Amino acid sequence: MDASASPSQASPRGRIIVKATNVTQQFVVGDETVTPIKDANFELLESSFNIIYGPSGSGKSTLLNILTGLQRPTTGTVLFDDREVYKLSSDELAFFRATRLGIVYQSNYWVQSLNVLENVSLPLYFLGYSRARASEVAQFALEEVEMGGYANKYPTLLSGGEQQRIAMARALASSPLFIIADEPTGSLDSANGDKIMGLLQRAQKENNRTIILVTHNMEFLPLADHLIHIQDGQVEVLQHESIKKATDELLAQMQQRLNRYNRQ
């Protein structure tokens, strides 16, 4: 393929797979306007581990939704795997999302009448897999997250940690380029949270997937190749080398706030 025909840009560090340019998001609620994202500009590399981090209500989910085609920003453009996301037709966008993205939320939606295997198979039917092939691929994905023995159980009857691993299997089943996870450990204890983080890391390191994780848990920040920090509308992207410095600063800021509070 003629490289000049592709809008993807080379970088000494790797292929740029996401590019946000002058992205601003405003919401008007009643007579108030909030601007969680102000003129964000950043690039993410293929096969990197990216963490969107910031306090509750800072705009993390909004930014994730903008990047993945769910929320057209007020202004700005998003290039995602060589597609300008907000120039795609709704059919193209749906196909793009189904083939490229595996998504895990804090709490997941299951079809209650279907068992685990059928729930994990469901997105594969939309991609044209036969029933038999979908079951085979779904079973393999369940085994990858060590839930192979749960195929015939019903997801809503399982623990939070088990459901989250099944959600990971569902996200991984179609072999997407990206795993998108919005607070996937938000309702888990630390042991189950670590299992999910381990699976995300494996998806990146062993299968070269690009991870975009939203979290407000500082503990995970050192895992990131790129840290997208959001606060008061400002979006700042730090590379791995500067993350330790940034986390030290964030910790110091938090300690100052707590000290002030403790003195009252």
Establish how many alpha carbons lie within 13 A of residue 5's alpha carbon, considering only the half-sphere containing its beta carbon. Answer: 2
Helix H segments across the chain?
60-67, 90-100, 116-126, 131-144, 160-173, 190-205, 240-263
Which among Mg ion, ligand ADP, none contacts residue 185 (Cβ within 5 to 8 A by kind)? none
Kindly state whether residue 56 participates in binding ligand ADP, applying the rule CB under 6 A: yes
* Inter-CA distances, 231 with 37, 55, 78, 127, 181, Å: 9, 7, 20, 38, 20
CB-based contact 212:179 (threshold 8 Å): yes
Q: Which of residues 61, 108, 192, 204 is near Mg ion by CB under 5 A?
A: 61
Give the DSSP per-residue string, 71-88.
S--SEEEEEETTEEGGGS
Report the alpha-carbon distance of residue 67 to residue 76 in Å, rounded: 11
Q: How many residues bind ligand ADP (CB under 6 A)?
A: 12
Q: C-beta of 34: minimal distance to ligand ADP in Å?
A: 5
Q: Which is nearer to ligand ADP, 27 or 125 (CB)?
A: 27
Find the binder of ligand ADP among 40, 53, 60, 226 (CB under 6 A).
60
List 59, 123, 176, 184, residue binding ligand ADP (CB under 6 A): 59
Stretch that binds ligand ADP, among 6-14, 54-62, 120-128, 220-228 (CB under 6 A): 54-62
**Measured CA distances, 17 to 10, 37, 110, 176, 211 (Å):** 10, 20, 30, 14, 11
**Interface with ligand ADP includes 61 (CB under 6 A)?**
yes
Q: Mask 85-104, x = binds ligand ADP (CB under 6 A)?
A: --------------------
Residue 54 in the binding site for ligand ADP (CB under 6 A)? yes
Region of 49-57, 118-126, 148-156, 219-227 interacting with ligand ADP (CB under 6 A): 49-57
Distance of alpha carbon 243 from alpha carbon 222, whole angstroms? 7
Q: Does 25 bind Mg ion (CB under 5 A)?
A: no
Neighbours of 235 (CB within 10 A): 23
Pick the closer one to ligand ADP by CB: 5 or 29.
29
Q: For binding to ligand ADP (CB under 6 A), which residues are involved?
A: 27, 29, 34, 36, 54, 56-62
